[in-house]
Structure 1
Amino acid sequence: MKCRMCGFEFDETKLENRGCVSCGKHDNCNQVHCPNCGFGNHPEFEEEFEFIAKLKDKLRNRINGH
């Protein structure tokens, strides 16, 4: 997984308690916290964010091309 806040890449399956250390909601939490910056990433949104990033790049390239 790549953190959307800092860009750090990590294996979320190797994190104890999904990287969370503060709130204690491990059973109901749907976030994976980055071991580098602590940002709570939502794995279920990974594909959606990737699509949005690609769309933004296409629009940016189109604007810069004209």
Structure 2
Amino acid sequence: MKCRMCGFEFDETELDNRGCISCGKHDNCNQVHCPNCGFGNHPEFEEEFQFITKLKDRFRKRKSGN
């Protein structure tokens, strides 16, 4: 997984407690916290963010081409 805040890449399956630091929502928390910056990433939104990133890149290419 790549952190959307700092860009650090890590394996979320190797984190203890999904990287949580006692927020109190361990039973129903769906975030994976980055071991570098602590940002809570949502794995289920990963595909949506990839789509948005591709869209932004496409717009940038069009803008720079004009």
Range into which the TM-score falls when normalised by the shorter chain: over 0.9
- Runs of 5+ in structure 2 lacking a partner? none
- Runs of 5+ in structure 1 lacking a partner? none
Matched length: 66
How much has 1:20 moved relative to structure 2?
A: 0.4
TM-score by length of 2: 0.96
Asked if 1:28 corresponds to 2:28, the answer is yes
C-alpha distance in 1 between matches for 2:12 and 2:26: 14
How much has 1:24 moved relative to structure 2?
A: 2.5
Moved >6 Å (runs of 4+): none
Residue 57 of structure 1: aligned partner: 57
